[in-house]
Amino acid sequence: MDGLHRIATEEELRAIIGEPAELVLSKIVDRLDPLTRTLVEASPFVCVATARPDGGLDVSPRGDPAGFVRILDERTLLLPERPGNRIADSLTNIQRDPRVGLLFLIPGVGDTYRINGTAFLTDDQQLLASSAVEGKAPKLGIVVHIEQAYTQCSKALIRSDLWNPDRHIDRAALPTNGELLRSVTGGAVDAAAYDQARAERYARREGIY
Q: What pairing do the DSSP bridges indicate for beta strands 140-152 and 112-122?
A: antiparallel
Looking at residue 203, what is its pLDDT? 95
Structure confidence at residue 29 (pLDDT): 97
Do the Cβ atoms of 81 and 139 come closer than 8 Å? Answer: yes
Per-residue pLDDT tens, the chain, 209 aa: give them.
788 999 999 999 999 999 999 999 999 999 999 999 999 999 999 999 999 989 999 999 999 999 999 999 999 999 999 998 899 999 999 999 999 999 999 999 999 999 999 999 999 999 999 999 999 999 999 999 999 999 999 999 999 999 999 999 999 999 999 999 999 999 999 999 999 999 999 999 999 99
**pTM for the whole structure:** 0.93
**The amino acid at 6:** R
Residue (of 58, 101, 95) closest to 77 by Cα position: 101
Contact of 45 with 104, CB cutoff 8 Å:
yes
pLDDT at 165: 96
* Residues 6+ away with beta carbon under 8 Å from 104: 39, 40, 43, 45, 46, 69, 112, 113, 114, 115
What pLDDT score was predicted for residue 162? 96
The whole-number pLDDT of residue 2 equals 84
CA 109 to chain centre: 16
Domains and their CATH numbers in the chain:
27-160 (2.30.110.10), 169-203 (no CATH)
Helical (H) or strand (E) element with 45: strand 45-51
The helix (H) or strand (E) run that includes residue 184 is: helix 177-184
* Distance from C-alpha of 59 to C-alpha of 189, rounded to nearest angstrom: 26
User: For the residues of 65-106, what is the DSSP string, one character each?
Assistant: STT-SEEEETTEEEEEE----S--HHHHHHHH--EEEEEEE-
The number of residues in the chain equals 209
